[in-house]
Structures are given as structure tokens and as C-alpha cells.
Amino acid sequence: MKTVVLGMSGGVDSSVAAILLKNQGYKVIGLFMRNWDSMLNNDILGNPDLENHSICPQEEDYNDAKAVCEKLGIPLHRVDFVKEYWDYVFTYFLDELKKGRTPNPDLMCNKYIKFDMFVKEAKKLGADYIATGHYAQMENGKLLRAVDHNKDQTYFLAQLSKEQLQNVLFPIGKLEKPEVRKIAEEYGLITARKKDSTGICFIGERNFTKFLENYLPNMPGDIVDIDSKEVVGKHIGLMYYTIGQRRGLHIGGSKERMFVVGKDLNKNILYISYGNTDYLISDSCIIDTVVFNCDERPTNCTAKFRYRQPDNEVELKYLDNGEILVQYPQGVKSVTPGQACVLYMKDQCIGSGIIKEVHKNQKKLWYL
């Protein structure tokens, strides 16, 4: 009997993954990761809900995972990756924000924690395979989109190498989300109707502004109309805004449609435009931190520049320094430095890079 160590998060997806693995005849061992310490990291003000909890939400997740494992008759172990998460994920997140970029810590959490530190711990428990509750599929060594395209999470797995994806199982990848909840209900699991987690990976749902105040100083500055060059309002800190954002601009009295088009980090200026979407459109970008999980190096494929964005046809030009020039002459809105460019060949996710520069007509956009 093969042993699978399953990442138990206390949510419905990993709970049902445990059921499916048991039914397939595996010896299943649960492993819960503790990656954040709200009190130690002094962020209680970032989550007012903590004041209404007798225990923090992460402890509730552990208790839910424990209850599920007890009901299914599988052992549950617990491991502390608080320091590793801080060193490899959260520090990266803060550094990117300081640069005025829009990072995606979930990709780095998967790269350095779930499919690195977790794997090492799983091997100590005798794992032949590791498994998670991600919506994705592995077939013949290929990372494929989940059957439920609305829940597909290959975007967040796209920084994993071919080696990291070896001996990995995604048990719920062939199921639609309603099917997952139905199975949990049939087994009477405490997680069956539990709300899906959102927010920053492993940090959870917090008031983002209050949370970041604990780690980075607010630097208010001017909001400038990029066309008129006039100051039209004040921002609360460039790190709180991303390209294409429409809400939270707080420009008093204005009812016009506006959105963020750029940042000047040196002058601490946030640029907005009133309805002119041309500023949001680019036709190429340069990506670094490139990872492929396959042997192919295509020149034509599709790419997502944001999680829920449709696929875009792109052409890849491989640069001598290991970076890639990604071209999309049809134009794409709101391609943003710091975000991931995830590459696909039909339903296969082949890798990704982090967006370094954004160009239009072969020129770097100065306001980005």
C-alpha cells in the first residue's frame, strides 16, 4: 500500500481529497501547516475579527482538519513553518510592495513552502506521494487545468519545477466544486459548508490597509490626472493600489469613471485616467524568474497575466540573460509589474515568469 501525505488545510477541498485518496486504497496521512503567527507577527489590528474569536482562525482551521481526520480515521500531524514563510514568502511580498509592484505571494508559497518544505516533512513521514486540495490535474507528468475551469488553480502552481511536480496528486482536479461539497455532506464532514478562504496565502482575510501598517510605513502622496497633469486628490500609499484599479481612489466629489494607470515611486505619485483605457493597454512585457515544468520551449502559446483573465495569444522571444520577451500585438489591459505571466499550451500549464517591465510600441511605459 502506497503512502500519501496530504496537506490538510481545514477546508472542504483537502477534506474531500482525503476521502478520495482513502477510497483509492492509499494509506493517507494528514499534515497541517502552521505558517503564520498573528500574535508573534503583531498583526492583530489587521484582523478585527480576531477580537471576536476565542481562538484565532488558523487554530479553528487546525481543529476542523483534526475533526475531519478523526472522522475518516487517518492520522494528522502538524508542522510549524512560520519562520520559513516569513523568510521566503512574506519578505518577498513586502520587498515587492516597496518597489511599487503588485506581488502574488500565493505562487511563492507554493514554490517554497507547500512543494518544498512540506515535501521534506512528508518524506520524514514515509510519503510515496504528496497531495493537496488544489484544483488542478497531473497526467503523464503534465500539469493540466482542472475540470472546473472556474476554480482552476494552475495559475498559482506555475512557478513549480518539473522536479517539484513529481509524485504529486491533485485528487479533486476532476471534480466541479458543487460535487466536492456534495461528497463532504454525504460523509457528514464539519467542513462541508465551510466558506472558502480568501485573502493573502496563509494570512487570511484581513483589512489589508491596517494589516500592512504593521510592516510598512504609509507614505501618502498626490493623485495626478495623467492627461492634465493636475493634482486631483491624495493617495494613502502607493503599495495599496494596482494597475486598472477603480475602487478606493477617494477623489472627493468626482463621479467620473476613473482608474489607476501608473505610479511614480520616486515622486510618490499615483496616476489615474478618466476613462482613457489606452493607458492600460500594452503589447509586450519582459518576464524574469522564469520556470518551465516541461521540456518544451514554445515560441507561440497562450498566457494569463492575472488569475481570472482569459487566455491571450502570445509569442515568446528568449533573451540571452534568461528573461523572456512576451509579445501580444492584439493588446492586453492592465499587465502589471510583479504579477505572474502564466504560460499554457491548450490545457497544459507549462510554466511562468514574473512581469518585470511592460512595453507599448517597443518602449517601456514610463508610468509603470
Q: Would you name the residues annotated as active-site residues?
A: 109, 201
Extract the C-alpha cell encoding 228: 492634465
Distance CA 27, CA 22 (A): 7
CA 45/CA 210 separation, integer angstroms: 6
Contacts within 8 Å (CB) and 24+ apart, 305-314: 305/332, 305/334, 305/335, 305/336, 305/339, 305/340, 305/341, 305/355, 306/334, 306/336, 306/339, 307/155, 307/156, 311/344, 314/343
C-alpha pair distances (Å), 2 with each of 22, 65, 126, 206, 304? 11, 22, 9, 40, 36
With CA atoms as reference, report the closest residue to 15 among 163, 148, 186, 146: 186
* Site of grid cell 461539497: 181
Containing H/E element for 55?
none
DSSP string of 308-360, one letter each residue: TPPPEEEEEEE-TTS-EEEEEEEEEE---TTSEEEEEETTEEEEEEEEEEEEE
Q: What b/e string do you get for 225-257 counting C-beta neighbours within 10 Å, with b at 16 or more?
A: bbeeeeebbebbbbbbbbbbbeeebebeeeeee
Neighbours of 4 (CB within 10 A): 25
Which among 129, 334, 328, 105 is positioned nearest to 242, based on CA atoms? 334
Helices (H), the chain: 12-23, 57-72, 82-85, 91-98, 105-109, 118-124, 177-186, 208-213
Cβ 226 vs Cβ 279: under 8 Å: yes
* 148, 241, 368 from 266: Cα distances, Å: 43, 16, 12
